[in-house]
Structure 1
Amino acid sequence: MRESVAARDEDVGRAADGPQDADASRLQALGYRQELRRSLGVLGNISMGFAVVSPVVALYAVSMVGTTVAGPMWVWALPLVLAGQCLVVSVYAELSAQWPLAGGPYQWGRRLLGPAFGWLGGWVWQFAVMFGNTTVAYLAAPWVYALFGATPTPAGLVAVAVGILLAGALVNAYGITILRRFVSLGIAAEALASVGVGLALLLFFREHDFVLFTRTLGAESLSGGSTALGFLAAVAVAGWAFIGFDACVSTAEETKDAGRQVPRAMWWALLSVGAVVILNAMAVALAHPRPADVVAGQDLDPVTTAVVHAFGGWSDKPFVVVVLIGFLACAVASQGGSARGLFSLSRDGAFPFSRHVRKVNRRQAPLGGLVASTLVSGSALALGLDATAIGTLIAFGTAATYLPFLLVSLAALIARLRGTWVPSGHIRLGAKGTVLNVLAVLWTAFEVVNVCWPRAILAPPGAPWYQVWAALLGTAVVLGTGVLYLLVKRPHDRLRGTGPAPAAQPAAP
């Protein structure tokens, strides 16, 4: 049997105990030198995860789609998905406690199952994050139009989304300190738009009883009369609401005492966002004057309708401003995470054009990764050029993200069962961890299939065929190109298997 990963990394775990430079020592033991600025505390790391999961983006982007496909009862999809994602975080917590590195899925996969699997997992995860940036930027664009009272067009939404991506790259280029401040502003907006507004709607402006959440209001007609199929579509859409907690891992090399703080930050980010999203989903539905209009597709912005109906017309623009700030903070934080993932892959020479992508500017920001991720995220916006693509891009971004969740959970489970990985960080769940790992694999496998399933009800009437098939096509293209590059260029040959990654900078592929 191969040497146990836990035994190999025992000396690495000891490096975490000691003076303030213990993080740099541990990073060096894992094969890397400190290149990014390590200045985040646990609250800063939680903020990154909270901003990327984002209650505003999680709910306000999907409430209309969820209500349309399953009626008010769609809110029950949210706790179901949250429970499933808690299984994933339990696996991620053990891994990040042992290997607190940027580019987690890539770094973990190569140590658990070898360089080829690790590289492919990193490739898939990296594109998932970049396509997630595409979705966030696109979903933010309608709020820009709402701010100015303009009517959006498909091409106009794409143009605004491109502008958001470019602005986000600029903010990130100024380093982690500016990014942290921008994210803090977004969290303040989140607190007002999500917690404050949600509680007010629920406590003082209810129009309906809680029995509303047992009704579909005819939404099942879009699924051939099947309530179950409509609810499955809602579960697919709700999947978007609880991704992004892995942004805490992306900034692991900029977080102090990362082996302890990153797992803690992931749990705080996911659970706090989960509570706020469920609260707001119920509050918006109960305060909406005509939920049947949302089901019928006559109200494309049920959140604003509920807020304006409750607080009056004066609240329209201020509410839009606060929500837009939340979206922009999410976009900026998500771009920062994708750039750091590219940096992690490229410093090992394991990504196309690595010599350029791995560059760090004088502010210790991953500039090459920012440029590359902005280009990839912007190119995926072409999906929305011919027709509005809100439901399509939600499915597209969600599918791309759940696939690496599955790959990481599967790699961890296989290594556990082989006995080649016994968690050796400060989080060790033992036999319970194995059970949770099995459930995490089952959950993520189900959700990958569910989200990738082509559904015309998630695209506007008359939308081009590629919007209906976007989730499946996107994951197939990412996997296919990754396997092809793996076979032709063999980037995994540059890696040193499951041991510490090389500190040297290999030549670019």
Structure 2
Amino acid sequence: MSSHLSERQNADEHLLHSHGYAQQLHRGLSLWSSFSVGFATVSPVVGIYSVMSLGAMNAGPSWVWIVPLCLALQLLVALVYAELASQYPLAGGCYQWVKRLAGDRWAWFTGFMYLASALASLTTVAYLGGFWLWLLATGEPPSANAQVLSGAALLVLGLAVNLLGINPLKYFVNAGIVAEAIASIGIGVLLLLFFRNHSFALLLEGLSSTSTGDGRYFSGFLTAMAVGGWAFLGFDACSQVSEETADARTSTPRAILRSMILVGLTVMLTAFAVTLSYTDTAALVSGQVIDPVTPAVVDAFGAWAERPFVAVVLVAFIACVVSVQTYIGRAVFGMARDNILPASALLRRVDKRKVPFAAMVFSTLFASLGLALGLNATAVGTLIAFGSGGFFFVFLIVVTCALLARLNGTWKVEHGTFSLGRWGITVNVAAFVWLVFESINVAWPREALAPPDAPWFQVWAVILVFSSLALLGLIYLFWAKPYQRTGTPQVPTL
């Protein structure tokens, strides 16, 4: 048994060396642990509890059908990512893949946009989790300032867990998986079987003004679909921890696909269960209810269940924050060791626990600055759209590079253990079409996702912010030419 494990470790290190890198991180994650990181990052609790109210407001109870639709379409992207992760199981994920598919310039730009998107996502998760932290501590929903403060506390807690090393981290993430199972699967099954207050016909109705026949329902459905895409981001976290995963060429693609499918099914279950059990559907679709899940649980199980339920949900949010910080730190490390980031010599350093500590601190500080956007308590829709818009843009770059490389014959899936075979081009094309649509859909300026009477620049936030980031990235790319500094210096562990 030990000799077999040693052989796998040697194979992993040999593969890493073949790409010009030394084994600096601790390869202590199993398939289950890699899956746990992906599952906690995508997080059915974070996904469904964050978007359910917004989805119902825009499309009525029928918004739940967006969940299986988004799952099927995002699974196309996950399949392409699984192929890439199998062939190139390297920290840096999409940056490393584009580097090999399209060259150093596109790789740097992709990595830059990915980091910007991931930091926006970390800010959003911490901000949304701050609601549950304050609710558990005080029993009352937080003010804008209190939610920002609670979100900052979650970031500090997540950083502390990450700095302990990969082994303590994986046990903490496993606790999040248990919380997810209780808060999503367990409660969802009980609500659906024993506390359903509506017939399934409700799911075919649009009870808000969006159900009128003037096209507003279709517009509302597209808006809900833009928000619903948030529930299926983060599966690529598994690829970022590839250099800490045993037998990564096999384990990482399996972890990507399993986390996506199981999260999707869990979100689907919870969406259907809460919608059918919530008593005041009119209040849900009118936007009067920010958190429909807790009232549904309290109505079903009694007032005693509220505090334990909030605690379980909070654990799931904390695990998500920890996982997002983990993969951002590895993404920064994966780029910095190629010398293409400012202060790369510092950001690629690994401490005695095999943790890229400077990269972790950097990402946490930047995400903390973004929390200031949450001072407007009604801006959650803008935050979610902002957090997901960049990811879909990065997905589109990666999938486009993969498709072009397939078509011109420069990428042949030969070395990975996971391959789509003759379905590769078909799946790749379908993923490309979906991502073009959803990238436009998420970025589309909508007053429905902005606070009432919001200024025009908040309505256009996704386009303005990411266009500005892309422009800054391109200016830096052509001015500083960071891609020309690319290399693989082997940095000794502290």
Q: Does the pair score TM above 0.5?
A: yes
* 1:85 counterpart (52, 74, 89): 74
Query: In the alignment, which residue of structure 2 is the partner of 1:411?
Result: 401
For 1:371-450, list aligned pairs within 5 A: 371-424=361-414, 425-450=416-441
| Structure 1: tracts of 5 or more residues without a match | 1-15, 496-500
| Structure 1 SS opposite 2:338 | coil
Query: In the alignment, which residue of structure 2 is the partner of 1:12?
Result: none
* 1:296 counterpart (286, 292, 295): 286
The answer to whether residue 15 in structure 2 is matched with residue 26 in structure 1 is: yes
Question: CA, structure 1 residues 144+19, in 2 after alignment: closer, same or farther (shift >3 Å)?
Answer: closer
Query: In the alignment, which residue of structure 2 is the partner of 1:474?
Result: 465
Q: Contact between 1:88 and 1:440, CA under 8 Å: does it hold in 2?
A: yes
Question: CA, structure 1 residues 473+223, in 2 after alignment: closer, same or farther (shift >3 Å)?
Answer: farther
**Counterpart-to-counterpart distance in 2, 1:504 and 1:255:** 20
Query: In the alignment, which residue of structure 1 is the partner of 2:124?
Result: 135
Residue 375 of structure 1: CA displacement?
A: 1.9
Question: CA, structure 1 residues 63+219, in 2 after alignment: closer, same or farther (shift >3 Å)?
Answer: farther
After superposing the two structures, state which structure 1 stretch, 479-488 or 283-292, moved more: 479-488
Residue 218 of structure 1: CA displacement?
A: 1.6
Query: In the alignment, which residue of structure 1 is the partner of 2:360?
Result: 370
Residue 219 of structure 1: CA displacement?
A: 4.2
Q: Contact between 1:387 and 1:464, CA under 8 Å: does it hold in 2?
A: no
Q: Deviations over 1:87-124 (max 9, x none)?
A: 10111111111110011110000100111011111111
Amino acid aligned to 2:47:
A
Residue 158 of structure 1: CA displacement?
A: 1.4
* 2:249 counterpart (246, 259, 264): 259
Amino acid aligned to 2:449:
L
Query: In the alignment, which residue of structure 2 is the partner of 1:124?
Result: 113
Query: In the alignment, which residue of structure 1 is the partner of 2:84?
Result: 95
Q: Contact between 1:68 and 1:295, CA under 8 Å: does it hold in 2?
A: yes
Residue 504 of structure 1: CA displacement?
A: 4.3
| Structure 2 SS opposite 1:502 | coil
Query: In the alignment, which residue of structure 2 is the partner of 1:36?
Result: 25
**Counterpart-to-counterpart distance in 2, 1:109 and 1:89:** 16
**Counterpart-to-counterpart distance in 2, 1:140 and 1:89:** 26
**Counterpart-to-counterpart distance in 1, 2:227 and 2:156:** 27
**Counterpart-to-counterpart distance in 2, 1:439 and 1:387:** 38
**Counterpart-to-counterpart distance in 2, 1:82 and 1:474:** 27
Query: In the alignment, which residue of structure 2 is the partner of 1:108?
Result: 97
* 1:461 counterpart (433, 452, 455): 452
Query: In the alignment, which residue of structure 2 is the partner of 1:502?
Result: 488
Q: Contact between 2:54 and 2:287, CA under 8 Å: does it hold in 1?
A: no
The answer to whether residue 324 in structure 2 is matched with residue 338 in structure 1 is: no
Amino acid aligned to 1:299:
V
Q: Contact between 1:219 and 1:230, CA under 8 Å: does it hold in 2?
A: no
Query: In the alignment, which residue of structure 2 is the partner of 1:8?
Result: none
* 2:42 counterpart (53, 56, 65): 53
Question: CA, structure 1 residues 376+477, in 2 after alignment: closer, same or farther (shift >3 Å)?
Answer: farther
**Counterpart-to-counterpart distance in 2, 1:33 and 1:416:** 29
* 1:273 counterpart (260, 263, 266): 263
Query: In the alignment, which residue of structure 2 is the partner of 1:326?
Result: 316
Q: Contact between 1:245 and 1:266, CA under 8 Å: does it hold in 2?
A: yes
The answer to whether residue 303 in structure 2 is matched with residue 317 in structure 1 is: no
Amino acid aligned to 2:41:
V
Q: Contact between 2:8 and 2:247, CA under 8 Å: does it hold in 1?
A: no
**Counterpart-to-counterpart distance in 2, 1:447 and 1:227:** 18
Q: Contact between 1:103 and 1:344, CA under 8 Å: does it hold in 2?
A: yes
**Counterpart-to-counterpart distance in 1, 2:141 and 2:273:** 27
* 1:182 counterpart (146, 151, 172): 172
After superposing the two structures, state which structure 1 stretch, 221-230 or 249-258, moved more: 221-230
Q: Contact between 1:128 and 1:400, CA under 8 Å: does it hold in 2?
A: yes
Amino acid aligned to 1:342:
V
TM-score by length of structure 2 reads: 0.95
**Counterpart-to-counterpart distance in 2, 1:21 and 1:73:** 52
Question: CA, structure 1 residues 224+352, in 2 after alignment: closer, same or farther (shift >3 Å)?
Answer: farther
Amino acid aligned to 2:425:
T
TM-score by length of structure 1 reads: 0.92
Residue 222 of structure 1: CA displacement?
A: 11
Residue 30 of structure 1: CA displacement?
A: 0.8
Q: Contact between 1:222 and 1:457, CA under 8 Å: does it hold in 2?
A: no
Q: Contact between 1:112 and 1:411, CA under 8 Å: does it hold in 2?
A: yes
| Structure 2 SS opposite 1:21 | helix
**Counterpart-to-counterpart distance in 1, 2:436 and 2:21:** 33
The RMSD of aligned alpha carbons is: 1.8
Amino acid aligned to 1:139:
L
Q: Contact between 1:222 and 1:230, CA under 8 Å: does it hold in 2?
A: no
Query: In the alignment, which residue of structure 2 is the partner of 1:485?
Result: 476
Q: Contact between 2:184 and 2:270, CA under 8 Å: does it hold in 1?
A: yes
* 1:162 counterpart (129, 135, 152): 152
Residue 224 of structure 1: CA displacement?
A: 7.5
**Counterpart-to-counterpart distance in 2, 1:146 and 1:470:** 29
| Structure 2 SS opposite 1:38 | coil
Q: Deviations over 1:152-202 (max 9, x none)?
A: 222221121112112111111111111111101111111111110000000
Q: Contact between 1:223 and 1:230, CA under 8 Å: does it hold in 2?
A: no
The answer to whether residue 225 in structure 2 is matched with residue 235 in structure 1 is: yes
After superposing the two structures, state which structure 1 stretch, 392-401 or 477-486, moved more: 477-486
Amino acid aligned to 2:153:
G
Amino acid aligned to 1:411:
C
Q: Contact between 2:337 and 2:488, CA under 8 Å: does it hold in 1?
A: no
Question: CA, structure 1 residues 46+29, in 2 after alignment: closer, same or farther (shift >3 Å)?
Answer: same
**Counterpart-to-counterpart distance in 2, 1:469 and 1:321:** 36
Indicate the percent of aligned positions where both proteins have the same amino acid: 46
Q: Contact between 1:101 and 1:107, CA under 8 Å: does it hold in 2?
A: yes
**Counterpart-to-counterpart distance in 2, 1:409 and 1:25:** 27
**Counterpart-to-counterpart distance in 2, 1:222 and 1:386:** 31
